[in-house]
Amino acid sequence: MSEALVRGTWVVFLTLVVALFLTILPLPTAGEDLRPQWVAMTLIFWALALPERVGVFWAFGTGLVLDVASGTLLGHHALGLSLVVYVAVELHARVRIFPLWQQALFVWVLLILERLLALWVLGATGQPMPGLAYWASTFVGLLLWPWLYVVLRDLSRRAGAV
Amino acid sequence: MILAALAALGLIVADHRYQHLGALRATLAVMVYPLQVLADLPVRVARKAQGRLADERMLREQNEAMRRENLVLNARLQQLVALESENMRLRDLLGSSFRIGERVLIAEILAVDLDPGRRQVVVNKGSRSGVFVGQPVLDANAVMGQVVRTNPLSSTVLLITDSEHALPVEVNRNGLRTIARGTGVGQDLELLHIPKNADVRVGDLLVTSGMGGRFPRGYPVARVTGVRHDPDDPFTVVTAEPTARLDRSREVLLVWTLSPESATEALGEARSDAAPGSGVTGPDGRVGGSP
């Protein structure tokens, strides 16, 4: 039992590291705005799959690391991610039985919420406001979610985390 | 949840207002550093491969071009030494102190994407190499930006095109002082508060004026690309384009400005301190500034 617990934690940790890696991987300038919110999506998946283990504090810690990695104010991403993961954990029982496309829409709303909070932080601290392209990544996230879901689900099953 | 949200808000305020979180940020940054190096790896490998695949003719051509450039630069340098000492003598006569001589450290930009809304880059030298916050960063052509955050192994550089960056400059042709602010849009700078009758023309070179105390005086910054008179604007709208290759440079120079006494010391030090990989060069990082 405890072995599965440790293994599960490792899988979550590794996927988050990969998500962070994808977030800072250099892209051509045109693709920068289309980069999906890898970290947010991975956290939402784990919050839905393992709500008793991955919760707000995972999100908070990952958010801080993301802030440092992307050079933003500390807490900038941590705030949005914790709120989004909280909502995902609260509603996991309902969302888990949704068909995949409906689930993707739910995740999309969460992704928008995360971006909205980040935007609010930008505004509150008087930093320059991004343009409309800022929201493009949520649409990429919406399209990507079904695939990410399947990949991560298989991964967690194979690793015996669930 | 509420705890986490409050903690996040507290951190945002603390980081934004008081900048107290250096230690926490540095610890996290050390953890993130391996990831950044890893993300940089594909670009590094591609460069290596390019180097391996270069054929002899290309290398020969490159070598020839560099030799020619070196010759030209050396010729100019001879003049510069004489001019510099003459300048010092004259300033001595005037009784004004003048800081001259710089120590330069070469750092490499890590190919890592940060927040797309800001113009920042990460370089692979940190406080362990003596990098400090506010330090000017140059490339071979001009001023690139300044260090805004240092970690033990890496530091973050704010580029001059970021919309929160402003830099005191002067027009090289007539010494008109102004401030160049980044726009955050494209590669443009704008000059603030230029009166309607000011003498600024397209093509003018802007150099650092040294007024803010951060950047040494006389480094090229940008070239004026547009001068527009809006009838309803009390000031002239002037845009400029940085002469530094902000999006293409891979190596950057971190500069320490030295007082005359320590300049000579550092010179000797730099000569003896030619340890491999230390990347310290003599104070010959001076660029441009027409005589």
ipTM of the complex: 0.71
Shortest Cα distance from B163 to chain A (angstroms)? Answer: 7
Per-residue pLDDT, B282 = 37
DSSP 8-state code for residue B279: -
Residue A43's pLDDT band, with cuts at 50, 70 and 90, is very high
Task: Choose the closest CB to B11 out of A59, A70, A74.
Answer: A74
Per-residue pLDDT, B142 = 84
DSSP 8-state code for residue B218: T
Among A74, A113, A120, A129, which would you mutate to test the B interface (most chain B Cβ atoms within 10 Å of its Cβ)? A74
How confident is the model over B53-91, as pLDDT tens digits? 877 888 888 899 999 999 988 888 888 888 888 877 777
Could you tell me the sign of the dihedral formed by the alpha carbons of B239, B245, B248, B253, in that order? negative
Q: Are residues B116 and A130, on separate chains, in Cβ contact within 8 Å? A: yes
Per-residue pLDDT, A41 = 93
% of chain A with per-residue pLDDT over 70: 96
Per-residue pLDDT, B283 = 40
Which of B122, B124, B127, B166 is closest to B143 using CA atoms?
A: B166
Q: In this predicted structure, which of A56-65, A90-99, A131-140, B38-47 has the lowest mean pLDDT? A: B38-47
Which parts of chain B register pLDDT below 70? Answer: 18-22, 94-102, 258-291
Which of A3, A5, A2, A72 is closest to A39 using CA atoms?
A: A72
pTM beyond 0.90: the answer is: no
Q: Are residues B118 and A33, on separate chains, in Cβ contact within 8 Å? A: no
Q: Are residues B7 and A128, on separate chains, in Cβ contact within 8 Å? A: no
Per-residue pLDDT, B275 = 38
Q: Is B34 helix (H, G, I), strand (E, B) or coil?
A: helix
Per-residue pLDDT, B42 = 82
Q: Is B167 helix (H, G, I), strand (E, B) or coil?
A: strand
Rounded to 5°, the CA angle B86-B90-B95 comes to: 145
CA B51 to chain centre: 27
CA B67 to chain centre: 26
* Top-confidence residue, B64 or A159: B64
CA B234 to chain centre: 32
Is the pLDDT score of A28 beyond 60?
yes
Cβ atoms of B205 and B191 within 8 Å: the answer is no
Separation of alpha carbons A151 and B204, rounded Å: 56
Q: Which residues of A touch B (CB under 8 A)?
A: 17, 20-21, 23-27, 29, 32-33, 35, 56-57, 59-60, 63-65, 68-76, 78-79, 82-83, 86, 121-122, 124-125, 127-130, 134
Number of H helices, E strands in chain B: 4, 13
Task: Choose the closest CB to A75 out of B9, B118, B164.
Answer: B9
Whether B46 and chain A come into contact, CB under 8 Å, resolves to no
Which of B37, B39, B14 is closest to B25 using CA atoms?
A: B14
Q: Are residues B114 and A127, on separate chains, in Cβ contact within 8 Å? A: no
DSSP 8-state code for residue B277: T
Task: Choose the closest CB to B112 out of A26, A74, A129.
Answer: A26
Could you tell me the sign of the dihedral formed by the alpha carbons of B273, B276, B279, B282, in that order? positive
Neighbouring-strand partners of residue B226: B239
Non-local (6+) Cβ contacts of B143 within 8 A are B136, B137, B160, B167, B208, B215, B219, B220, B221, B242, B244
Q: Which residues of A150-160 are buried (b: 16+ CB within 10 A; e: fewer)?
A: eebeeebeebe
How many angstroms separate the Cα of B165 from the Cα of each of B145, B175, B189, B214? 8, 22, 10, 12
Which of A61, A45, A46, A41 is closest to A111 using CA atoms?
A: A41
Separation of alpha carbons A55 and A85, rounded Å: 6
Cβ atoms of B11 and A74 within 8 Å: the answer is yes
